[in-house]
Amino acid sequence: MTGRDAGFVPGVELARAFYEEAVSPLLADVPHSAALIGWGSDVLGFDTPRSTDHGWGPRLQVFVEDAVPDGLAEEVDAALPESFRGWPVRFGWNDVPVTHHVELAPLGAWLQRRLGFDPRRGIAKRDWLALPQQLLLEVTAGAVFHDGLRELGPVREALRWYPHDVWLWLLACQWRRIDQEEHFPGRAAEVGDELGSRVVAARLVREVMRLCFLLERGYAPYSKWLGSAFARLDAHAQVGPPLEATLAAADFPAREEALVAAVEAVARRHNALGITRPVDPTVRGFYTRPFRVLSSRRFVDACLEHIEDEWLRSLPPVGAVDQFLDSPDVLSSGELARRIALSV
């Protein structure tokens, strides 16, 4: 019976059983931690039967202290079964063999490769700004099956959320992204550029969604799962419908009405946190032009007022690396994201 015939099991559950039944007995004398973290829809809990059409099978990471003991990888590989719960153990990606069904690595080396640095040595403010949210989510999501090293759990906890001043800084920069373009849909529509109005409105929808993640202290995933993850936020019930209406609007008046409802709802949610002075959450005209905007700069200023760290306050207001870059190649590479972010 094949894995498909046996029915779909979420990747985290499959990995847990694979570790407990097949891998753990092979590591009885080796201090280690085991988890399913890092890349993959299964780590984020968004895998479905569709996920099984390529590169699918039981997989996990096994972390050791300083170096993988000589011969351990070969011993584990040789002792593993050819299949587990109906799924091939040695699966491939686009017909290329993959041997990472059990990824054996020192924890520090894996963190360095995934994030671009080892957070066990401390996390500076510069480190936080150089980390894409999707990578922070990959390390803090998934599941830990065994933490014999007693280091993986503390690392995940340390990366769980930003320090307060960094959080306020990112909120300020996200509000700024909205402030810079909130009047553009109206101006584009005014000159007959309906396509341009729709495009900018869609950009604002994305920025509002990402702001909601920050307000709820949750990392945003990469684009494929942004909407799915947003649907899990508390804000979705109130903010989601007007954002959908913004995208579905056939003309600018309807588009503006929907977007106004969304940004006012988010503004009220910001005030409810009590992390800045209250800001009037209602829209107003954009100077003398007939466009209604939140004038989001007021929220930027409110956030900046509460930041005590002088270094953060001295920075250009562009935020973390994934607030000013949008390349999947950069945002999926901790080392590349870090190199670019620290050069700004």
pLDDT, one tens digit per residue, over 112-128 is: 999 999 999 999 999 99
User: Considering 117, 139, 158, which residue would you say is the last residue of a domain?
Assistant: 158
Residues 288 and 172 in one domain: yes
**Same domain assignment for residues 153 and 8:** yes
Q: Would you state the pLDDT for residue 5?
A: 44
73-87 confidence digits (pLDDT tens): 889 989 999 889 988
- 62 part of a folded domain: yes
- Lowest-pLDDT choice from 75-79, 175-179, 278-282: 75-79
Residue 315 lies in a domain: no
Q: Which of 128, 158, 188 is the last residue in one of the domains?
A: 158
- Number of domains forming the structure of the chain: 2
- Tell me: do 153 and 70 sit in the same domain: yes
User: Which is more confidently placed, 176 or 99?
Assistant: 176
Boundaries of domain holding 112: 3-158
Q: Quick one: 134 and 170 in the same domain?
A: no
Q: Is residue 103, in this structure, part of any structural domain at all?
A: yes
Section 274-279 average pLDDT: 98
Percentage above 70 pLDDT, the chain: 95
* Same domain, yes or no: 193 and 279: yes
Mean pLDDT of 31-51: 94
Q: How confident is the model at residue 92 (pLDDT cuts 50, 70, 90)?
A: low
33 and 47 share a domain? yes
Q: Is residue 292 part of a domain?
A: yes
| Shared domain check, 270 and 176 | yes
341 in a domain, yes or no?
no
| 156 φ, ψ (degrees, to nearest 5) | -60, -40
**CB–CB of 36/61 below 8 Å?**
yes
- One domain for residues 7 and 127: yes
**Of 123, 158, 193, which residue sits at a domain end?**
158
State how far the Cα of 198 lies from the Cα of 190, in Å rounded to an integer. Answer: 12
Q: How confident is the model at residue 57 (pLDDT cuts 50, 70, 90)?
A: confident
Residue 302's pLDDT band (cuts 50, 70, 90): very high
Asked if 92 and 197 sit in the same domain, the reply is no
Examine residue 319 and state whether it is found in any structural domain, yes or no. Answer: no
| 326 occurs within a structural domain | no
Q: Is residue 272 part of a domain?
A: yes
Based on the fold, state whether residues 110 and 244 are members of the same structural domain.
Answer: no
User: Do 285 and 176 reside in the same domain of the chain?
Assistant: yes
Answer yes or no: do 169 and 152 share one domain: no
